[in-house]
Amino acid sequence: MSAIFPKWTNRLPMMIIVGVLLVGTAVTAGVWYYFTPKYTRVGYQPIQPVPFSHATHAGQLGLDCRYCHTGVEKSWFSNIPAASTCMNCHNQVLKDDPRLTLVRESAASGKPIPWVQVHKVPDFVYFNHSVHVNRGISCVECHGPVDQMEEVYHAKPLSMAFCLECHRHPETKVRPLDKITDLNWRPESEAAQLEFGRRAREEWRVEALQNCSACHR
């Protein structure tokens, strides 16, 4: 039989196996790292029309989150305040500062400031702020240390895995209701957290909801 293939092709199967293994590992590792919200969402920090500093207002001045986001305890939606809320102070403080031009215009005209939304869940996810906040889930669990952010960035992945981590073990995250907006609150110890968490789950009837329609309604 005349040779149809040159001799080096004998090594081809091994080369293909090794090549597929290498490429396969690289692709798997790449997808694992780059294709999840941990990479694609965390760190997202759009340029906002007004460079509002949460670090100054919530951190340094100690404003409660609910001073501005008034709907968070009552509604599925945590609202962005109207410019008139800003003007409660800023008609006295920094009243001529050029950085606040847009705020003053908005308060005068009633036309909202075009803030860029940072934290979004997809349309097929139902998320209710009030039910979380009223059952001991702090702002910090999903939004990160906002009181230390100059401008807000995406601190947590907000992936389904992220949601389920807590939905599977709510007792590790629930906290006293008066500490919800205290972003720097820490439990005394892990044991204390678990003890409180178990009691809270029982008394507040916090369920570990994992059925699809809990969120995908």
Partner 1 sequence: MAEKATPTLTPPPVPRELERVPLVLNQRGFGWISDRVTAITEGSAPFWWWAAFIPSVLLLGLLGFMLAYQITTGVGVWGNMHPVMWGWDIINFVWWIGIGHAGTLISAILFLLRQRWRTGVNRAAEAMTIFAVMCAGIYPALHVGRVWFDWWLFPFPNSNGPIWPQFRSPLMWDVFAVSTYFTVSVLFWYMGLIPDLAVMRDRAKTKLRQFLYGLFALGWTGSNRHWSNYEKAYLLLAGLSTPLVLSVHSIVSLDFSVSQLPGWHTTIFPPYFVAGAIFSGFGMVLTLLIPLRKICRLEEIITMRHIDVMCKVTLATGSIVGYAYAMEFFVAWYSGSAAEQFHFMNRALGPYQWGWLPMIICNVVVPQLFWFKWFRSNLWAVFIISIIVNVGMWFERFVIIVIGLHRDFLPSNWGYFKPTWVDVCTYLGTFGLFFTLFLLFVRFLPMVAISEVKGVTPQADPHHPLGGAGHVERIPDDNEGATSV
Distance CA 116, CA 49 (A): 8
Please report whether residue 38 would count as binding partner 1 according to CB under 8 A: yes
Please report whether residue 23 would count as binding partner 1 according to CB under 8 A: no
Nearer to partner 1, 85 or 159 (CB): 159
Please report whether residue 16 would count as binding partner 1 according to CB under 8 A: no
| Six-digit token string for 76 | 């599925």
CB 109 within 8 A of CB 87: no
Min CB(32)–partner 1 separation in Å: 8
Min CB(154)–partner 1 separation in Å: 15
Please report whether residue 124 would count as binding partner 1 according to CB under 8 A: no
Binds partner 1 by CB under 8 A, chosen from 45, 53, 70, 159: 159
Please report whether residue 194 would count as binding partner 1 according to CB under 8 A: no
DSSP H helices, 74-189, are: 83-90, 101-109, 129-133, 139-143, 160-168
Strands (E), the chain: none
| Total residues interacting with partner 1, rule: CB under 8 A | 14
Q: Which amino acid is at 117?
A: Q
Distance CA 68, CA 50 (A): 16
How many other C-beta atoms lie within 10 A of the C-beta of residue 25? Answer: 10
Please report whether residue 42 would count as binding partner 1 according to CB under 8 A: no
Binds partner 1 by CB under 8 A, chosen from 18, 22, 161, 192: 161
Please report whether residue 36 would count as binding partner 1 according to CB under 8 A: yes
Distance CA 154, CA 136 (A): 22
Applying CB under 8 A, which residues contact partner 1? 1, 4-5, 10, 32, 35-38, 157, 159-161, 164
